[in-house]
Structure 1
């Protein structure tokens, strides 16, 4: 398994956009697969500037992705740096891949001078993120889904 930056794997953008659209964006009004593709493409352009993304490959197969974003949630503009788009291919879940990506992105964020990271997750994932040092801040909504906003301080 190898974790690297999305900028080094532009061929992965299409698959990631499809994952994201199918998993989350399809419930957003007016969101299209092309719009999601463009959002992922933004993260494929950066190596040391936020927004960016990391990807995980097993041999040559893309199996996971995680994004580091700026002001991801417009309802909370005071929360600057976010992780999101944490996705592991269903065939690879339960093997610690998300945790490895979280550790990697925390280190990348630290090197970029980021002291606080936020995330928004569905409530069934709260325990996972608490395991990696995130604390609950409050509840929120993403369209029709109740979510939890969490914070990690380096």
Structure 2
């Protein structure tokens, strides 16, 4: 497994946009794959500042992605840095790839001076993030979907 930045593999942006559209974005009225692609491309140029994306390859095949974002949920502007877009190709799930991405994203955030990360996830993913030190804060509705807002704070 090789974990790098999307900035090292910008040709992967289309595949990631298709993953995101198929997993989450298709439910939004008037959302297109190209609109999702624009957001992914924003994260394909940064190496030392957020927003950025982390990718993982297995034998040169893209198998997962995670993003570090700024204020992902407009309803909570006080929550600045977010982990989001954690996605593992369905054919590669169950191999710990999501956990590797979460750990790498936390390390990258810390290297950039970020001491806490927020995320929002559906209930079936809460336990995964708890395993990685995230704590539940509260429930929220995001575009008509019930989510759990969670927070991780760097241990000092």
Matched residues in 2 for 1:151 and 1:10: separation? 29
2:15 match: secondary structure: helix
Runs of 4+ that moved beyond 4 A = none
1:34 and 2:34 aligned: yes
Aligned pairs for 1:126-137 within 5 A: 126-137=126-137
CA distance in 1, matches of 2:88, 2:95: 10
Runs of 5+ unmatched residues, structure 2: none
Q: Counterparts of 1:149 and 1:114 in 2: how far apart (Å)?
A: 18
CA distance in 2, matches of 1:63, 1:52: 17
1:86 and 2:102 are equivalent in the alignment: no
Answering whether residue 46 of structure 2 is matched by residue 59 of structure 1, we say: no
TM-score, normalised by the number of residues in structure 1: 0.98
The Cα shift of 1:33 comes to 0.8
In the alignment, structure 1 residue 99 sits paired with structure 2 residue 99: yes
CA root-mean-square deviation? 0.7
Post-superposition shift, 1:28?
A: 1.5
CA shift, 1:29, in A, is 2.3
The offset of 1:110, in angstroms, is 0.4
State the match for 1:123 in structure 2.
Answer: 123
Q: Distance in 2 between matches of 1:105 and 1:122?
A: 19
User: Cα deviations across residues 124-151 of structure 1 (Å, max 9, x unaligned)?
Assistant: 1101100100000000112222110000
1:97-125 C-alpha deviation (Å, 9 max, x unpaired) = 11111111111100100011000001111
How high is the TM-score relative to the length of structure 2? 0.97
How much does 1:60 deviate?
A: 1.3
Aligned residues: 154
